[in-house]
Amino acid sequence: MKFCPECGSENPDNAIHCQECGKKVENTLTEPKVESKTPKEKKQEKLDKRKSTARRIVVYIIGAVIGFVLFSLIIGQALASTGSDAGLWIGVVLYLAGPIIGFYITYLIY
Question: Within the chain, how many helices (H) and strands (E) appear?
Answer: 2, 2
Report the pLDDT value the prediction gives residue 84, as an integer from 0 to 100.
60
Q: Are residue 50 and residue 90 in the same domain, yes or no?
A: yes
Q: H-type helices in 3-86, by residue range? A: 39-82
- On the question of pLDDT at 58 being above 80, the answer is yes
On whether both 49 and 2 belong to a single domain, the answer is: no
**Domain around 91:** 36-110
Question: What count of other Cβ atoms lies within 10 Å of the Cβ of residue 61?
Answer: 14
Residue 81 has pLDDT above 80, yes or no: no
Say if residue 105 is in the same domain as residue 93: yes
